[in-house]
Amino acid sequence: MTKLVGVLTAGGDTPGLNAALRGLGKAAIEGYGMQIIGFYEGYRGLMQNRTIRLDGSNLSGILTRGGTILGTSRDKPNNMPMGGQFLDMTDTMLENYNRHHLDVLVCIGGGGTHKSAAKLMKKGINVVTIPKTIDNDLFGTDHSIGFDTALGIATDAIDRLHSTAHSHHRIIVVEIMGHNTGWLALGSGIAGGADVILIPEIPYKANAIADAILARSRGGKRFSIVAVSEGAMNRGDHEEYIKITKELAEAKKSGEKEKIDARMLAFRQDHATSTIRLAQELERLTGLESRVTILGYVQRGGTPSAYDRLLATRLGTAAADMINQEKYGIMVAARGEGIEPVELSEIVGKRNIVPLDHPWIQSARHVGTNLGD
Ligand code: F6P
């Protein structure tokens, strides 16, 4: 029997999503004689039944294109924004899945997408997932689509900031994405030769950073590049964050979470400008002129790197293989040289953070990079 496959891309876009759609689609259609339906804008399109038939014509010519031809959204099946309220729409999604007589739904996304896929699985939908995120924080896979491209973009930016920082004898603090993990800042900071790298896993002290910068100045290097992950925090903020997180967990149990939610929201809003405050503090502590560059969405845009095209093609085609074998409820994970199925139940709710003894951290310290501690 011809298998009918649905596919969606959800969460933040990354370069390489189209390469994954192409890999999945070509292998499924040409290799296994399956049919593919794409849903627009992640889980929202599944709820609204907004579809496009994917075939040779629209899967061709997209290997190198950034973004996603399907569009994406961060909407969650069980908490869907609907006319001013949030509703559980998983039943509607199940109806649409059945309406198309689908055998499986392929969900391409990061941590949130995987959580949502697991929820749909509980409703009776067969799912296969493909890992993508520029943050590299997905548990259970060595690599995720998009990280390598973003790493290249951030490294290139740090390279370029060097010459201007050097010419003006300035500190340039460059904010790099990564959500609550430091992979992107750490990797690009090492590759780009940043003098200071700050990541969420290592709460920092501004004084320690200023001392390192002043030591460079005394050695004749009158500029410094500080690569800071968007989730990095100074020690005081980190303590506060841990406190609110614990209180939130307790409040969830007692059903009184709204007050703590508001505190967390206020904390996050305040944290959004922490890189600017850090630059100001470093200027005050060192007497050196400081500037900020926030790389932002440029890290997620444009053409995927060769590595991401290769990874996306491998993961997409492996997903078609899994569907052919009717292996459902799994993520296709990149492990070592190969691709392996990993049960969704083993990975959902877990995060891949930078271990403090990770070789990248050791290497950074060995080349004299200050990590803010
Ligand atoms: O998860 C990818 C990512 O780019 C993070 O690095 C960043 O924190 C977040 O998405 C930004 O989210 P949004 O696209 O919703 O602004």
Which tens digit of pLDDT belongs to each residue from 131-165?
999 999 999 999 999 999 999 999 999 999 999 99
Residue 33: pLDDT above 90? yes
Q: Please give the distance, rounded to the nearest whole angstrom, from the Cα atom of residue 234 to the centre of ligand 1.
A: 21
Helices (H), 169-295: 183-192, 206-218, 235-254, 257-271, 274-286
Residue 255: pLDDT above 80? no
Residue 91: pLDDT above 80? yes
Q: How confident is the model at residue 339 (pLDDT cuts 50, 70, 90)?
A: very high
- Whose Cα sits closest to atom 5 in ligand 1? 179
Q: How far is Cα 347 from Cα 195, in angstroms, rounded to an integer? A: 35
Six-digit token pair at 352?
């891949």
pLDDT digits over 4-13, tens only? 999 999 999 9
Question: Active-site residue 270, yes or no?
Answer: no
In the prediction, which pLDDT does 278 show? Answer: 98
Q: How confident is the model at residue 256 (pLDDT cuts 50, 70, 90)?
A: confident
| CB-facing half-sphere around the CA of 371: CA atoms within 13 A | 20
- Whose Cα sits closest to atom 7 in ligand 1? 179
Whether ligand 1 lies within 6 angstroms of the CB of 10 is answered as no
Whether ligand 1 lies within 6 angstroms of the CB of 133 is answered as yes
pLDDT digits over 39-74, tens only? 999 999 999 999 999 999 999 999 999 999 999 999
| CB-facing half-sphere around the CA of 372: CA atoms within 13 A | 25
Whether ligand 1 lies within 6 angstroms of the CB of 178 is answered as yes
Mean pLDDT to the nearest integer, 203-222: 97
- Sequence-distant (6+) residues with CB within 8 A of 6 are 36, 37, 38, 39, 46, 97, 100, 102, 104, 105, 106
Question: Regarding beta strands 80-82 and 51-54, do their DSSP bridges make them parallel or antiparallel, or are they unpaired?
Answer: unpaired
- Decide if 4-146+304-347 and 150-300 have a common fold: yes
Q: What is the largest CA-CA distance in the chain?
A: 74
Hey, which of 9, 115, 179, 183 would you mutate to test ligand 1's pocket, going by the most ligand atoms within 8 Å of its Cβ?
179
Which of 13, 135, 148, 195 does the annotation list as catalytic? 135
Whether ligand 1 lies within 6 angstroms of the CB of 309 is answered as no
Distances 136 to 102, 132, 142, 355, 361 between C-alpha atoms, Å: 30, 8, 8, 13, 16
What is the third-level CATH fold of 150-300?
Answer: Rossmann fold (3.40.50)
Residue 104: pLDDT above 90? yes
Atom number in ligand 1 closest to CA 297: 4
Q: Please give the distance, rounded to the nearest whole angstrom, from the Cα atom of residue 178 to the centre of ligand 1.
A: 8
Q: Phi/psi zone of residue 203: left (φ > 0), alpha (ψ -120 to 50 degrees), beta? A: beta
Q: Where are the domains of the chain?
A: 4-146+304-347, 150-300
Let me know if domain 4-146+304-347 sits in CATH 3.40.50.450: yes
Element (DSSP H or E) covering residue 95: helix 90-99
Mean pLDDT to the nearest integer, 259-270: 93
Q: How confident is the model at residue 253 (pLDDT cuts 50, 70, 90)?
A: confident
Model pTM score: 0.96
Q: Which residue carries 């990770």 as its tokens?
A: 358
- Sequence-distant (6+) residues with CB within 8 A of 220 are none
Percent of the chain residues past pLDDT 70, beyond the cut? 100
Whether ligand 1 lies within 6 angstroms of the CB of 7 is answered as no
372: nearest Cα among 186, 93, 247, 188: 186
Six-digit token pair at 373?
């501690």
